[in-house]
Structure formats: C-alpha cells, structure tokens
C-alpha cells in the first residue's frame, strides 16, 4: 500500500456525494494540480445523509479550500453553507463550495456549463420546445439556464417521481413568465 505524502501547507479539495466510489474526479483534478504545480490534494468524500452536516462544517478546517458537490446533495447543501450566490439561490442547488477563511460560500457552476454547451443552438431553442429529464440539482440548473438564456416557448420536465418534476415547474414558472412549464413522469408523452 502506498501512503500519500501531505505537506503542512497543502490545501485539500474533494467531491462530496453518496455512492461515488466510481468517480474519476480525483484523477482528473490531481493531474491538473500537478500540471499547474499546485500543492493541492483532491479526495472523495462519500457520505451518508446523516454525516453531511458534520462534513460540511469540517470544511472550515483541515486546510480545506473547498469541495464539489454531487448526487444527492446539491439541494441539501444550500442550507448548510454560510452564504449562497444569487444564481445558486435561484436554482436552489449548490455544486461548488469555497472556503473563504472559514466562511463557506456555495455556488452553482452547472448553469454556466449548460449555457456554454447550448449557446451555439440559441436560435433553435428560442421559442421552441425543450424536454429536460430529471429533477435533481443538475436538472434544476439546466431548467434555470435554458429558461434564462434561451427563452424557449415550453419546458417539459420528465422525472420518475412526478411530485419532484412538478415542484420544479411550480418554482420556476413565476420566475420565467415567457416560458410555459409542464411536468410528467411519462417519458412517452414528453417526446
């Protein structure tokens, strides 16, 4: 077994989620840190829901600079950090936590990623119909980005649990009045 060497000045970053043992995030980020000659360590924080509040609180210490947040905690983390960016508030999901001298700030970078990915298709999306599968944190960011930046005529949210899809439509419809929101748990209806 090879033990990792840590320096006292090394900063720690990681990914927080549940059942994420398969993630390639440490390989990707560690390679980038080495290439950029940064003294950072990236780890996996695979936690149960009961452990989440204590884990988030511990990010204020132990040389943690921040963390990525993934399934199923993007929405739960919103209420565990000290401050939430305006965009993360609108989306009601955090995928990035930054430790600013012991103060944890939550951000959502998913929406920007959606915007960049779809910008080329802006004219085709505008005044058209969009179907989004899922009702978790990433889906929330997708709904927000598509509605805000592309103004489709209609957004249909498809999710196995209709109540979760409906909750998103009810939350976002008043924020984006030019777009009609619908929800279903029947993927056949959506397409």
Torsion of CA 11, 97, 29, 51, to 10 degrees: 90
185, 157 Cβ separation under 8 angstroms: no
Rounded to 5°, angle at Cα 11 from 6 and 15: 100
Q: Quick count: other Cβ atoms within 10 Å of Cβ 28? A: 11
103, 124 Cβ separation under 8 angstroms: no
Is 76 catalytic? The answer is: no
| Closest listed residue to residue 38, CA positions, set 11, 66, 6, 78 | 11
The one catalytic residue among 74, 76, 126, 148 = 74
What residues are annotated to the active site? 74
């Amino acid at each position: 077994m090879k033990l990792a060497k840590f320096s006292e000045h090394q900063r720690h970053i990681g990914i927080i989620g549940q059942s994420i043992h398969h993630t390639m995030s440490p390989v990707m980020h560690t390679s980038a840190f080495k290439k950029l000659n940064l003294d950072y360590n990236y780890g996996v924080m695979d936690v149960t829901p009961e452990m989440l509040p204590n884990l988030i609180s511990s990010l204020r210490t132990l040389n943690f600079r921040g963390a990525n947040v993934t399934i199923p905690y993007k929405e739960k983390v919103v209420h565990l950090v000290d401050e939430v960016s305006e965009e993360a508030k609108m989306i009601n999901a955090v995928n990035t936590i930054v430790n600013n001298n012991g103060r944890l700030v939550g951000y959502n970078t998913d929406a920007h990623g959606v915007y960049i990915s779809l910008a080329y298709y802006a004219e085709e999306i505008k005044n058209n119909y969009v179907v989004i599968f899922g009702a978790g944190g990433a889906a929330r960011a997708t709904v927000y980005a598509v509605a805000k930046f592309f103004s489709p005529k209609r957004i249909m949210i498809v999710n196995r649990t209709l109540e979760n899809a409906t909750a998103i439509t009810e939350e976002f419809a008043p924020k984006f009045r030019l777009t009609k929101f619908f929800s279903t748990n029947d993927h056949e209806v959506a397409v």
